[in-house]
Amino acid sequence: MEMDSSFRFLDDQRNHRLMNSVRKADIKHCIDADGVLHFSSRDDELVENELIKSLRDERFPSWQILSCPSDWTERYREYMMRHAIPFEEELIDGQTSFLISRKHRPLQWRLAPVAAGNGRSETHHALRRQTA
């Protein structure tokens, strides 16, 4: 059986509890040196929809997963910290995602633009080009 899915709660306590749940459920898996759980996608329904979900439910009664391209990860992390939005980080198939409460609307957030090489934001640079 191919171990083609992976998951890790970055919170070590929560991740340890997930590992115990996976062992008790007798799911074929392996755990790498970084504490990442590797399992078969054939077990996705049980692992994700029951075991991982139950641990997410403990953190937030109503939650959502915020995924973004890797070059946006730091922007989201900084925004949530700056605005005191509780979150937990997860690694889903090697990509950082954020577990947040369902009450937040990340599509409405105004994230800080990425700084361009000249010290101006991309937005400022784009506006400057349009007006030049």
Q: What was the pLDDT predicted at 121?
A: 35
Global confidence as pTM: 0.80
pLDDT band at 115 (very low <50, low <70, confident <90, very high): low
Give the separation between CA 112 and CA 81, rounded to whole angstroms: 13
Q: Is 59 helix (H, G, I), strand (E, B) or coil?
A: helix
Q: Is the pLDDT of residue 2 over 50?
A: yes
* Count: domains in the chain: 1
Domain with 86 in it: 5-131
Choose between 117 and 63: higher pLDDT.
Answer: 63
Task: Determine contact, residues 3/38, Cβ cutoff 8 Å.
Answer: yes
Residues 14-59: tens digit of each pLDDT = 999 999 999 999 999 999 999 999 999 999 999 999 999 999 999 9
Give the separation between CA 62 and CA 76, rounded to whole angstroms: 20
At 115, phi and psi to the nearest 5?
A: -70, 135
Residues 65-104: tens digit of each pLDDT = 999 999 999 999 999 999 999 999 999 999 999 999 999 9
